[in-house]
Amino acid sequence: MRERAVGLLLALAALARPALAQEMPGEQPPPAAFPTSFTAFVFLGSEGRRATRVFIDPLVPGCDVNPCSSDQDLSGAPGLGARFQTSVASRAAFRLGVAIGWTHYKIISANGGSSFSPPDRVRLLRADGVLLFRLKPQVPVYFGLGAAIGEFSPGVVINQPDVTEFGGVVVLGIDHRVSPKIGTRFEWTGYLMKPDLTNYPSEYHAPNLALDMQFSFGLNFFVIR
């Protein structure tokens, strides 16, 4: 009988604990690791190699008989963007982002002695969806994984039409809360993209993946509920 009474008291105590916690004056739920927020940011991007051209050209000395090669790169890409995040767990959030940047073509010869950026400007429009995580709710450092889609206009190689690429995202960043409504965010974002040379001359060869990097600084505007 005594064991049953003790068990009943323990069960009642367990049921009453949430109610007592709610009634405690000044009791606040633990803050979310990723409060709902909008982020406006600027960035400087570094675009990975998109293609290598292997060719024979009778007008180029040394390339009239033996094949020569050149790397088809893109220059650094400054730009701006916006993101929205919402909490999905105590230490996780889902984020959607969009960014626009501008880059130039960059061709590097095999001997590495010449590189130039033609005046053509390439617009890069990119969107991504990322799951963000923190090891502890109040730790400022976070990381994330996700997927991305990018559109280059014109394409990533000279004279190529607009091209769309797909890939993955790796994120590492740090937050700083300035006030209840505003914070700062510095982030490194890595994009592993699949270059697309569909319907392009066979002398151009694309790597399996291109690594793009983005360093961004933004302002977080928290949605206060």
- Run of H or E including 16: helix 2-23
Residue 203 vs residue 112, higher pLDDT: 203
Q: Could you tell me if residue 29 is inside a domain?
A: no
Residue 212 vs residue 156, higher pLDDT: 212
CATH of the domain at 159: 2.40.160.20
* 3-state SS, residue 133: strand
What is the tens place of the pLDDT at every residue in 145-196? Answer: 999 999 999 988 888 889 999 999 999 999 999 999 999 999 999 999 999 8
Whether 115 shows a pLDDT value over 70: the answer reads no
* 3-state SS, residue 206: coil
Q: Could you tell me if residue 83 is inside a domain?
A: yes
Q: Could you tell me if residue 78 is inside a domain?
A: yes
- Domain count within the chain: 1
Q: Could you tell me if residue 152 is inside a domain?
A: yes
% the chain with pLDDT above 90: 52
DSSP bridge partners of 201: none
Q: Could you tell me if residue 27 is inside a domain?
A: no
Q: Could you tell me if residue 14 is inside a domain?
A: no
- Run of H or E including 145: strand 141-153
Contact criterion met (CB below 8 Å) for 116 and 106: yes
- Dihedral sign, CA of 139, 145, 147, 148? positive
Whether 99 shows a pLDDT value over 50: the answer reads yes
Whether 10 shows a pLDDT value over 70: the answer reads no
- Looking at residue 15, its pLDDT comes to 38
> Structural domain of residue 170, as residue ranges?
34-222
Half-sphere exposure of 206 (CA within 13 A, CB side): 17
Instruction: Give the global pTM.
Output: 0.80
Q: Could you tell me if residue 10 is inside a domain?
A: no
